[in-house]
Amino acid sequence: MAEPCVKSDKIKRLETDVVNINERLNRHSEKIDKISDNNLVLETILKRLEEDGKEQKSVNELLNKSMQSIQTAMTEITFNIRELNTGLTNTNKKVEEVNTKVNKVDEKTKFDFMNFIKAKVIPVLLTSGCIYGIAKFIEGLAK
């Protein structure tokens, strides 16, 4: 009989190699499936990040517009405060002028009783006392 071309131990070794290759292919296939799943998750995350980026861009634009309007309002407020400070300064000057005038009028209309007595009453009393004394003296001489 003719001997087979390939020996049985070589066939077994080849069969074992084929089984090992199949097992390795199965493991690689599982890894590829996991990588595909991970890729799908990453694509989903990427889409979500892109959407969030667009949303963030629109929010930033709105915030920018708001900040510009706030800046404009602050400029107007600053201008108004300056005008109010100028008006307040003018009002303070006018109040000081009125205060000065009121003090002058107050000084003119003030009645100092002690000065009145010293300046008017005492001289009148002394003068009338002297006149009375002179009159009594003359009356005494005439008698």
Burial profile 6-22: b = 16 or more Cβ within 10 angstroms, e = fewer = eeeeeeeeeeeeeeeee
| Percent of the chain surpassing pLDDT 70 | 95
Tell me, yes or no, whether 15 and 75 share the same domain: yes
Residue 3 domain flag: no
Determine the Cα–Cα distance for residues 77 and 106; give it in Å rounded to an integer: 42
pLDDT digits (tens, 9 = 90+) for 11-26: 899 999 999 999 999 9
Determine the Cα–Cα distance for residues 112 and 121; give it in Å rounded to an integer: 13
Tell me, yes or no, whether 86 and 115 share the same domain: no
Tell me, yes or no, whether 122 and 62 share the same domain: no
- Which pTM value belongs to this model? 0.44
Its domain, for residue 29, covers 8-110
Residue 3 has pLDDT above 60, yes or no: no
Tell me, yes or no, whether 86 and 20 share the same domain: yes
Q: For position 6, what pLDDT does the model report?
A: 60
The two tokens of residue 32 are 């590829």
Residue 2 domain flag: no
Dihedral over Cα of 23, 26, 30, 35: its sign: positive
Looking at the 3D structure of the chain, how many domains does it have? Answer: 2
Tell me, yes or no, whether 39 and 95 share the same domain: yes
- Top-confidence residue, 74 or 107: 74
**Residues in the chain, how many?**
143
Tell me, yes or no, whether 61 and 15 share the same domain: yes
Tell me, yes or no, whether 99 and 118 share the same domain: no
Tell me, yes or no, whether 91 and 129 share the same domain: no
